Structure 1
């Protein structure tokens, strides 16, 4: 029996998604809930689990295609596969209670068509199915030692060469797409960065070293220039420009920023503060053996300061509900942390950040950053934020005028910490100095409220001990 699987509504209200890559091929045997593909929406890369067990008969789209929600994505032959899998009730029923042969069987209810990713989740503790990689033409399958740390959600086996499952290397969708274009097997590439994630430069360096080949439409291979790819090469030989479709995170970010800039009247105020006490605190915490597994930095201290200041200035933690004609004040803080990724800017948020300690905030920020760099930030991670922080100082920038995330009242930009002459206790001394920039929605917050909020954040960074006095 042929079953079609249509691209479901991914729970975001988005009309389409781009197919990043297939994890199965025609003729593959697929288990229920096995990951069959990765698709990229305007918010995140999402894994699609299979709603059926059976044989893949047709793939109705190719990597890079933009597919409308409701369109047929893949077809399965489920003949015998669904029937062979016993239902939990049948497995648990004792033999003595089995219905007699003469009894007419009850009609089996029709299976519901899945409408969300994750439909029909596997029972807790059940092992996830493994997928098999395909050998690259003209090259032997990689050894176990060539495979590095992988995303924990998926494991692969190399055909009949080894029976021990190994995990696929960690990388982002654009890097996997580049590797596919160059005909490079990611399992043979060693990540050079400390994060263990394979980057574009890793792929290009490997391709240059081995003279990678890319498959032609006829199935043969063509030599690829081993030189690192440039904008001209990506756009085609001899071209002076490169055109990239506006889609995914970049498209959503642009729409959100335009909407915010022309809806909420932005005001930005700046304050430069001596944060030497904060940098000294961070240095002392790094020397604490009990905290060696926690990376506490200026961003974590600023996050704590923001949570404390929002409690004193709730206008910065509110939302303008134009439809209802109301101002919605939040009594919790879902703190957004802007993260730059290969797919564009994402702003996942830390839920109920007001209840976390400094160490817990540092761990949460680190987790968000690692997930974002790996391209695994989910749509749910980016929804429901109430206030955001962007750390432009990591790029050596002193200040900026950040644009407010839609639905929020403010965003704080942290500038670079610089060692420079500064007045201290009536004398000139070298101090650690940082510029803070706060943008806020002037419909919700007036100049006095915004300035007092920024001053409170700066006071904590000047004297972290002041955090003991705030609530």
Structure 2
């Protein structure tokens, strides 16, 4: 009889310093036989929806979390029953798992090296200490490299000494951990109002989330009390929560300046129609965004200060010698800004294909975390909603963002005569710490010149 063992798969670190994910759906059930790398679940991080592949080949023994649960990195989410012989080899996938034989005999588990991060199929697991249990990594800041694991001893609750002098009694600070306090700040919750259910009254993440939701029964009662159900309450989480935090940080960190320019883009629209009928672009999706994106890349080559970031920790201005072009995309889960890597080296044909793939992937919610990070400058196409202009907020870590307005027919002076032309408004927001008014204005003027007369590119490259 072939011996079997139970292997636990713990939620891995999906990158970018994220500490938790929500299980959107399970693709397997208890008793199912799964193959190595078979997709077993779909999870949502603060940035994207990710498919989790199985690190083992075997049978699903247990699902430790239900769909909809928010799970911290390093916690077990599923157990597999695997062959004892095959289990030794399959651990190359790495899951921070624990093993025991199914017949009750203890299986040998290799000793865990202290502070070791175990590799897995989709990233790196939590830091593991001698006990074999994962330790959550503390959030990193600008002064610490993003991918460097920082191990910090777990702080134990400290009993505060009794006051030695008679004074007005002060309200004791609620006992909680830094991640829980941050969660409370993000949700706008006063921890003084939250009752802790953890050891010695420690306020846990569940306590804060429960307070925010009011519990299931309270939520139903609140909804029933609203006449006609005129309110709908949606928890702030996932992509929406991350976007909100990023926009607040950007708006109150970088001094924004926005400039506007309205351009006669009739020649660009005529060029677009010619390209659509060209055999070279057969099967490709061409839009005003395609041409505008290429124009941004050309103008950026002549004005590189807009392709930079402010490094507060090192007090340096970092200018990028490549362009990862971000494209703001409205998705059912909220706004995301995936970027096209090394877009500056692409032809118009390659850029068209990359834009189509990027937007399709974003709208389906399948954008990977790596595609959502590392952007250097962004475009938001508000024209598709019929909007002419706006004041876009910078994507954190970038110096500029361009908003493309709707293309409209309007009266315009052309060749000293009034004519009906196709016009577009361009809105450029930039970080005034990095970009002077002259530099921003020159970039915007050259971008407008390209769209007003694409032949002008000959004089710019």
**How high is the TM-score relative to the length of structure 2?**
0.70
Q: Which residue of 2 aligns with 1:177?
A: none
> What do residues 180-200 of structure 1 show as CA deviations (whole Å, max 9, x unaligned)?
xxxxxxxxxxxxxxxxxxxxx
Q: Which residue of 2 aligns with 1:329?
A: 319
> What do residues 152-177 of structure 1 show as CA deviations (whole Å, max 9, x unaligned)?
xxxxxxxxxxxxxxxxxxxxxxxxxx
Q: Give the aligned length.
A: 342
- Find the partner of 2:81 among 77, 84, 102: 77
Equivalent-residue separation in structure 2 for 1:62 and 1:86 (angstroms): 25
Query: Displacement, 1:283?
Result: 0.8
Q: Is the contact between residue 267 and residue 452 of structure 2 (CA under 8 Å) also seen in structure 1?
A: yes
Decide whether aligned partners of structure 1 residues 15 and 438 sit closer, same or farther in structure 2, where only a CA change above 3 A counts.
same
Query: Displacement, 1:117?
Result: 3.9
Q: Which residue of 2 aligns with 1:125?
A: none
Equivalent-residue separation in structure 1 for 2:27 and 2:223 (angstroms): 28
Q: Flag structure 1 segments of 5+ consecutive residues without an equivalent.
A: 89-106, 121-231
Q: Which residue of 2 aligns with 1:286?
A: 276
Q: Is the contact between residue 296 and residue 359 of structure 1 (CA under 8 Å) also seen in structure 2?
A: no
Comparing 272-281 and 70-79, the one that deviates more: 70-79
- Find the partner of 2:233 among 232, 243, 261: 243
- Find the partner of 1:451 among 441, 452, 459: 441
Query: Displacement, 1:439?
Result: 0.1
Q: Is the contact between residue 14 and residue 123 of structure 2 (CA under 8 Å) also seen in structure 1?
A: no
SS of alignment partner, residue 47 of structure 2:
coil
Q: Is the contact between residue 56 and residue 90 of structure 2 (CA under 8 Å) also seen in structure 1?
A: no
Q: Which residue of 1 aligns with 2:15?
A: 11
RMSD (Å), alpha carbons? 2.6
Q: Is the contact between residue 53 and residue 81 of structure 1 (CA under 8 Å) also seen in structure 2?
A: no
**How high is the TM-score relative to the length of structure 1?**
0.69
SS of alignment partner, residue 371 of structure 1:
helix
> What do residues 307-349 of structure 1 show as CA deviations (whole Å, max 9, x unaligned)?
1111111110011000000000111111101111111111111
Equivalent-residue separation in structure 1 for 2:223 and 2:283 (angstroms): 43
Q: Which residue of 2 aligns with 1:67?
A: 71
Equivalent-residue separation in structure 2 for 1:465 and 1:234 (angstroms): 63
Query: Displacement, 1:109?
Result: 7.1
Decide whether aligned partners of structure 1 residues 245 and 435 sit closer, same or farther in structure 2, where only a CA change above 3 A counts.
same
SS of alignment partner, residue 424 of structure 2:
strand
Equivalent-residue separation in structure 1 for 2:35 and 2:310 (angstroms): 47
Query: Displacement, 1:239?
Result: 2.7
Query: Displacement, 1:293?
Result: 1.2
- Find the partner of 1:411 among 397, 401, 408: 401
Q: Which residue of 1 aligns with 2:299?
A: 309
- Find the partner of 1:382 among 364, 372, 376: 372
Q: Flag structure 2 segments of 5+ consecutive residues without an equivalent.
A: 93-107, 125-221
